[in-house]
């Protein structure tokens, strides 16, 4: 993945909360710097997930993608850290889009999901809002 000069990024941004079962997606733009939950991708295969992502990238034409990077509270790698880094690399490699990883340590603390409730898209929105707030 290439290093991104955030000052020169202008346009639509897609954010992803990567999970093994579901991928939450949010959208925002650099003009308003407001994140909005978009959808939850849930497909039985990686091919299905990447087909859904390809469709979103085609529709939204993002200038940048943001991927949440899970870490333990002390900053050490989480069991999902490497998987999220790999997912970010795949986004860059498959679609040629710039990708930024954002520490998502405290994003899930914002939500108190009820049993069975799907909040992956909302988590992606929190990750994207963190990106906007940091840039």
Tens digit of each residue's pLDDT (9 = 90 or more) over 27-37:
999 999 999 99
3-state class of 77 per DSSP?
strand
What pLDDT score does 42 carry? Answer: 95
| Percentage with pLDDT > 90 across the chain | 72
Greater pLDDT, 78 or 105 = 78
Distance between CA 121 and CA 128 in Å, rounded?
A: 11
In this structure, is residue 19 part of a structural domain? yes
Q: Return the CATH number at 18.
A: 3.30.420.140
- The arithmetic mean of pLDDT across residues 10-15, rounded, is 96
Consecutive H or E run containing 3: none
In this structure, is residue 122 part of a structural domain? yes
pTM of the model: 0.89
**Could you tell me the residue range of the domain that residue 59 belongs to?**
6-134
Transcribe 17-48 into DSSP letters. EE-SS-EEEEEEETTTTEEEEEEEE--SSHHH
Distance between CA 92 and CA 84 in Å, rounded?
A: 12
In this structure, is residue 81 part of a structural domain? yes
In this structure, is residue 1 part of a structural domain? no
How many domains, in total, are found in the chain? 1
Q: What are the tokens at 58?
A: 């085609």
Tens digit of each residue's pLDDT (9 = 90 or more) over 63-81:
999 999 998 888 899 889 9
pLDDT at 110 over 90: no
């Amino acid at each position: 993945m290439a290093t991104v000069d955030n000052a020169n990024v202008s346009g639509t941004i897609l954010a992803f909360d990567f999970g093994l079962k579901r991928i939450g997606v949010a959208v925002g733009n650099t003009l308003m710097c407001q994140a909005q939950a978009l959808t939850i991708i849930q497909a039985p295969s990686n091919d299905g997930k990447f087909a859904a992502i390809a469709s979103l990238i085609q529709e939204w034409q993002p200038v940048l993608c943001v991927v949440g990077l899970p870490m333990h509270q002390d900053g050490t790698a989480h069991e999902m850290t490497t998987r999220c880094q790999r997912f970010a690399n795949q986004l860059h490699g498959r679609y040629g889009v710039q990708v930024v990883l954002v520490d998502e340590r405290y994003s899930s603390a914002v939500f108190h999901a009820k049993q069975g409730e799907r909040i992956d898209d909302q988590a992606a929105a929190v990750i994207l809002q963190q990106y906007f707030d940091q840039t």
